[in-house]
Structure 1
Amino acid sequence: MTIVEAYAVCTEIAQREAKNFYYSFRVLPDHKRDAMCAVYAFMRRADDISDEETMPVVERRVVMSAWLGAWREARRSGVSEDPVFVALNDTQKRFAIPDALLEDLVRGTTMDLEESQADVVLVTDTVADKTQTLQVYEDFEGLYRYCYLVASVVGLVCIRIFGYSDPRAEMLAEKTGVAFQLTNILRDVSEDAERGRIYLPMEDLTAGRVEVKQLLQVVRREAETKVVRSLLAQEAARALVYYAAAEELLPLIDKDSRAALWVLVTIYRGLLERIMAKNYDVFSERVSVPTSRKLLILAQGMGMAVRNRMVL
């Protein structure tokens, strides 16, 4: 398989699956867009293995271990029949992306497969004689570490592709990743709870006088949402603080990539704003940014990209 063919496979995966991310890819120069698609395809595969609920958790661990071993061997030998590994290997060479960052990325996606985790407490809930065990983060410090592994690491990889010279960009990318993940957590409260995961810190639930059982009743539409919405408002306020880092990061990124970051931040912050505008009703339906709005943001980003390249 040629490098061109490998990147084409990754691009097809990104077009099909990336949603918000792919809008930002489209305003990048070709070589950077290819690299972002390779990273995304790698990340998507790790997520898919971790989230494959038709497969027992023990089996998912085995599949993940085998897949990770195959990637490590591809890195060591420089040879692979997996197009994602071929493209990613080329991307890592071009943009000096260390293996350690990608190892952290996979570590983040596999956290939910671990039998026990630091910073996580187990809570049981019984409904109709069925008992469910849920994982709940104890405090925001522990949740921050999770956000770092599943989102900030992605940001640290992305800025290596975007290009930067000021070392402050790394901390700002870390915080921007946390803002994105907190937005995802707010949007996916119901979906995550159904999977046995609560990413709202227990310390925040306690401070807001919200019991896990009460939150689950709201998810099942069995209880009034007022108290839970107050809790979500607190988390949204926290996310907005982290979005401020994105504004500082933007001018530190190479000019030919700033539009991509702007598109991504604008879409994600727009999602948070829609959640806020719906008064934190993330229970009746999945909140999203309309495609028409994304296309408008993309058009604005393309205009920004053209202007930035003209002054390079």
Structure 2
Amino acid sequence: MRSEYRACRRIAARHGRTYFLATLLLPRHARPATYALYGFARRVDDAVDLPGGDPHTALAGCARLLDDVYAGRDVDGPVAAAFADTVRRYRLRRTWFEAFLRSMRMDLHVRDYPDFAALGEYVHGSAGVIGLQMLPVLGTVAPQEEAEPYAEALGEAFQMTNFLRDVGEDLRRGRIYLPADALAAFGVDRPLLEWSAATGRTDARIRRALRWFVARNHAVYRRALPGVALLRPESRPCVRTALTLYRGILDEIAGADYDILNRRVVVGKARRSGVAARALATRLVS
């Protein structure tokens, strides 16, 4: 399976810079499964967002892959083979992947969310279950069930950070993931966001709304943080680094004065490297 897992590693390195940097801090035995899970998630995500082709057909193919994996049948392609091996090796629950597919199907017809309750179903499937899938791979020092709420919260925090970073890009695709009622509390709606994106002009109401979302996102990170201590010691530097780097995106959003509808903020290479170097040093001496 080495070549199959290497193919997944290349996908992670190409598409997820921050994610891939953090995975280098994982113990070597945990990296292949991490890349395989990323490869499957990327395959499903691309089925929805890549231009050309029929996303319904592509998602149906992903669902058939799940059927084959859990039925113990042979699968085609390096990513599928590595994913199947990971699922069987770690006994990952099928319900986690089914929830992921449900959320990705929502992207085909849901363009906005009225409130956080409605968004919660999407976030559980698109991100919360990713944290749950990773727990058996990372290992825990407590019963896995004790760590699951924190893992799901961290997935939510990462996803909300993506929503904020990509708010302009998602808007151009016709989607708004920030709940309408929270935006409306600051006088923001779709037409205002579209006007701002089209003209490049900023608006104080949008800034105030984004500032509130960033503060809320920081609170989710704080809720997830105690879960790091429940992981096996050798897995903690990776997760702590990912948490720090993704929170850094929120700092970059604030540093841009929330003017992000026509730009995609990133954590600078120097900062990414510094955080990773400190985490690596911690892992080496622990």
Shift of the 149–70 alpha-carbon distance from structure 1 to 2, 3 Å rule, reads closer
Which of 186, 193, 199 in structure 1 is aligned with 2:164? 186
- Deviations for 1:97-116, whole angstroms, at most 9, x for unmatched residues? 112112212222221114xx
Give CA-to-partner distance per residue, 1:98-156, whole Å, 9 cap, x none. Answer: 12112212222221114xx5xxxxxxxxxxxxxxxxx2210111112211111111111
- Runs of 4+ aligned structure 1 residues displaced above 4 Å come to none
**1:250 corresponds to which residue?**
228
Q: By how many angstroms is 1:222 displaced?
A: 5.2
Does 2:67 match 1:72? yes
Which residue does 2:45 correspond to in 1?
Answer: 47
Matched residues in 1 for 2:86 and 2:41: separation? 14
> C-alpha distance in 2, partners of 1:78/1:24?
33
Bigger CA drift: 99-108 or 237-246?
99-108
Q: What is the CA deviation profile of residues 22-56 of structure 1, one whole-angstrom value per residue up to 9, with x for unaligned ones? A: 1111011122011100000000010111102334x
**One-letter amino acid of the counterpart of residue 211, structure 1:** D
Q: 1:67 to 1:179 in 2, by over 3 A?
A: closer
Summarize deviations over 1:200-221 as a string: whole Å, max 9, x none. 2111122111232111111113
Instruction: Give yes or no for contact 2:99–2:124 (8 Å, CA) kept in 1.
Output: no
Matched letter for residue 240 of structure 2:
W
Report the equivalent of 2:279. Answer: 301
More deviation in 164-173 or 21-30? 164-173
What corresponds to 1:264 in structure 2? 242
* Partner Cα distance (2:24, 2:243) in 1: 14
Equivalent pair of 1:78/1:89 in contact (CA under 8 Å): no
Give the total of aligned pairs: 284
Map residues 40-119 of structure 1 onto 2, 5 A cutoff. Answer: 40-55=38-53, 59-114=54-109
Cα RMSD (Å): 1.6
* TM-score, scaled relative to structure 1: 0.86
Alignment of 1:112-261 (within 5 A): 112-114=107-109, 135-164=111-140, 165-166=142-143, 167-221=145-199, 223-261=201-239
Q: How high is the TM-score relative to the length of structure 2? A: 0.94
Residue 138 of structure 2 aligns with an amino acid whose one-letter code is: F
Contact 1:24/1:263, CA 8 A, preserved across alignment:
yes
Match of 1:161, SS state, is helix
Within 2, Cα distance between the matches of 1:277 and 1:222? 18
Q: Secondary structure at the match of 1:197?
A: coil
The structure where helix makes up a greater share of residues is: 2
Give the whole-Å Cα distance in 1 for the aligned partners of 2:201 and 2:268.
29
Aligned-pair distance for 1:95? 2.0
Larger Rg: 1 or 2? 1
CA distance 1:74–1:160, change in 2 (3 Å): closer
| Residue of structure 1 in register with 2:30 after alignment | 32
Identity, in percent, stands at: 31
> Does the 8 Å contact 1:43/1:106 carry over to 2?
no
Q: Distance in 2 between matches of 1:75 and 1:13?
A: 24
Q: Following the alignment from structure 1 to structure 2, what is the Cα–Cα distance between the partners of residues 10 and 301?
A: 24
CA shift at 1:78, angstroms? 3.8
Determine which structure has the larger strand proportion and give its number.
1
Whether the 8 Å CA contact 1:214–1:223 is kept in 2: the answer is no
Contact 1:74 1:80 in 2 (8 A): yes
Unpaired runs of 5+ residues, structure 2, are none
CA-CA distance at 1:257 after TM superposition: 0.4
Q: How does 1:275-290 map to 2 (within 5 A)?
A: 275-290=253-268
